[in-house]
Amino acid sequence: MESFKHHFPIFENESNQALAYFDSASSAQKPKHVIEVMNRFQTSSYANVHRGLYRLSAESTTAYENARRTVANFIGTDENHIVFTRSATEAINLIANTWGTQHIKAGDIILLTEMEHHANIVPWVMLAKQAGAKVEYASLLPDGSLDMKSYEKALENNPKLVAFTHVSNVLGTINSVKDMVSQAHNAGAITVIDGSQAAPHIRLNMVDIDSDFYVFTGHKNYGPTGTGVLYGKKELLDAMPPWQGGGDMIETVAFDNITFAKAPAKFEAGTPNIVGTVGLAASIEFLNALGWGVIETHEKALSEKLEAELINFNGLTLYSRAVNKIGVFSFNLNGIHSSDVAMVLDKCNVAVRTGHHCAQPLMKALGTEHTIRASIGLSTTEDDIDQLISSLHKAQKMLG
């Protein structure tokens, strides 16, 4: 199987050459192309955007807006639908504090699922408390997939807003988002999808999915931290009020009156993360250059290998068993705390995530307070999987 590890300079560092990195679901390592593009931009074309008439500012503005087009093409839409944010978390908060405060009223229902990341729970709970609304949750099946009967039953209560993850950050479960959106729309709801775990692994098309809003983050997508994307249907973005005030989101400012720019500019107050946005576009260029067929084949083969190893591991409880999933696996060694296991794995140069993974309601549904999570990315190899499994055996022998 072809290895893509050579694209990631961090593994060239002497201290990291033996590292098996299984935390891409938290934050993916950065490919050489992204690092080089960001460095080249900062040393040749950097200036503030949308403000200067000089050459560097024009070049910087062009690079920034070209990044918007690159992102739009990446998810099958046009740039008028793309708002740049600091993260998926900020994008969800933006929706909650604009569309949400306009439309969610006392007695309304917001429908979520039990598998949501806190970023797709906390803003809605805060909004519901502020408005006097109610938050309800669709439940899971024992294999870690969404119980569609529970979802459909909850839609009978006519929620005003339905928000759900495209792919679970704990279980790797891929939800049937197109069907879920269609069903929510039939119930009269607006939809929000958290696509942070989907964007690096699944070819996206906003026209096909038809969600009203879709968000994802840059740093899981092989781009830099501090970058995020909010997709919104144009008619919704146009009708939403600004969230943050400042430079670049205005049309005119007088002492007694302000008029605002059109979307998406009205949601991008202040100097943006220009370099990071250029880096986000570079991460998409990297993925496009590899090709989605290559990416999916590579990750599918590694996921099948790791899943088989975990299923056959005696004394291990695997929580993520959905048929339709990506390479994210949550498990525990029976009778051993996940943090103790992770410390042994670290000594074996294996990096995994432990804890509740910003998904405490999901942990409760799974009947545990914490898990070990191993997630596969483009930097993962077959040798990494062998290293993880042998290290788990060592941890079990030491701590069991």
- Would you name the residues annotated as active-site residues? 358
Please name the residues in contact with 144: beta carbons below 8 A apart, sequence gap of 6 or more: 115, 168, 171, 173, 319, 320, 321, 322, 325
Output the 3-class SS for the chain. Answer: CCCCHHHCHHHHCHHHCCCEECECCCCCCCCHHHHHHHHHHHHHCCCCCCCCCCHHHHHHHHHHHHHHHHHHHHCCCCHHHEEEECCHHHHHHHHHHHHHHHHCCCCCEEEEECCCCHHHCHHHHHHHHHHCCEEEEECECCCCCECHHHHHHHHCCCCCEEEEECECCCCCEECCHHHHHHHHHHCCCEEEEECCCCCCCCCCCHHHHCCCEEEEECHHHCCCCCCEEEEECHHHHHHCCCCCCCCCCEEEECCCCEEECCCCHHHCCCCCCHHHHHHHHHHHHHHHHHCHHHHHHHHHHHHHHHHHHHHCCCCEEECCCCCCECCEEEEEECCCCHHHHHHHHHHCCEECEEECCCCHHHHHHHCCCCEEEEECCCCCCHHHHHHHHHHHHHHHHHHC
Output the 3-class SS for 298-326. Answer: HHHHHHHHHHHHHHCCCCEEECCCCCCEC
Q: Which residues pair with 329 in a beta bridge?
A: 374
